[in-house]
Amino acid sequence: MKRIGLISFVFVLFIISFSGFAQQPNSSINKSYVIVLHGGAGNISPENTPPEKQAALKSALSEALSAAKQVLSKGGSSLDAVVAAIKVLEDSPLFNAGKGAVLTAEGKAELDAAIMDGKTLKAGAVAGVTIVKNPITAARAVMDQSVHVMMAGKGADQFAREQKLEIVDPSYFITPERWKSYLKIKEQDSIKRVKEKFGTVGAVALDMDGNLAAATSTGGMMMKKFGRVGDSPIIGAGTYASNEACAVSATGHGEFFIRNVVAYDIVALILYKEWSVEKASDYVINHKLKEQGGEGGVICLDRKGNIATPFNTPGMFRAWLKFDGKSEKIEIAFFK
């Protein structure tokens, strides 16, 4: 009897040990993550982007990738990752977002931003904010701390104050370079002569839990008038994320992106036609949009980690970091 009891005890230990061993891989089913960024599309070429400017841009994009990586590599959410990346780009004077944003016809900075959660389809956006240091944090607060999706103008600024976000004087956003450009264009007195580089910034991310998120931030169109709002803060136009399809952040001539609901159009093609993220985004940007005269590009990321970055302009500042659980790959590119 004692021998039978001993055998039974050993057998039970074996089963427990085997079960624990078998379950170990499940605790780390997926250690992969991806972050994709853009810093604007438009009249971008080696001729008008000197080597020193390219080096500065690569440094800023690399810093943004690193900020997102710090979140994702520790198992953080894709939402936190895109916010971390966008904040770095908003703080850089090199892009049309946050500090260094383009100016309105009145010589002011009016900033837009949006964020969307691919898991829940919750979203938040702000338009025309003037005192929030990082507009993307205001968009996140709208999503997390209010019952609304979008807030605009003075109301959005007041909400940001109440949420105790970092507030700055409006002059913070105006850099000497932007002011010089504003005065030059004002002398020309024609918005049609403005050859924008569409320096809007955006990020899409996939975290270890398989959740997608998208975020976009911009100063809008140079010399814009009458409280104009572009596509960036409009969910479905410049920003969208769905775990069932992909995450999208756009940059370009906003009016075309709004009329074509570009971000959601890409998602819809994946959902309803079962197109790949590459085929859907290429069709919308390089065929549908281009035929109408709409210029710009998008960054897209699906739940399998597939990346697409089509654009129909001479260039688009873009970067991505991909970790498959074993090795990391990074790419930063500007031109076609």
Q: Chain-wide mean pLDDT for the chain?
A: 91
Catalytic member of 104, 137, 200, 313: 200
Question: Coil, strand, or helix at residue 20?
Answer: helix
What pLDDT, in 10s, does the model give residues 19-52? 443 443 333 457 999 999 999 999 899 999 999 9
Q: Which two tokens stand for residue 180?
A: 């010089």
Catalytic, 313? Answer no
pLDDT in tens, 159-189: 999 999 999 999 999 999 999 999 988 887 5
> Tens digit of pLDDT for each residue in 283-321?
999 999 999 999 999 999 999 999 999 999 999 999 999
1 pLDDT more than 60:
no
Name the 3-class secondary structure at 247.
strand
User: Using the 8-state DSSP alphabet, how is residue 167 labeled?
Assistant: B
Q: Is the pLDDT of residue 196 over 80?
A: no
Task: Give the separation between CA 48 and CA 42, rounded to whole angstroms.
Answer: 11
Q: What confidence tens digit (pLDDT) does each residue in 47-84 have?
A: 999 999 999 999 999 999 999 999 999 999 999 999 99
pLDDT of residue 187: 84
Higher pLDDT, 181 or 15: 181
Residue the block writes with tokens 């929030």 = 132
| pTM (predicted TM-score) | 0.90
Residue 197 has pLDDT above 60, yes or no: no
Q: What sign does the CA torsion over 142, 147, 149, 153 have?
A: negative
Q: Residue 205 pairs with which residues in a beta bridge?
A: 35, 213
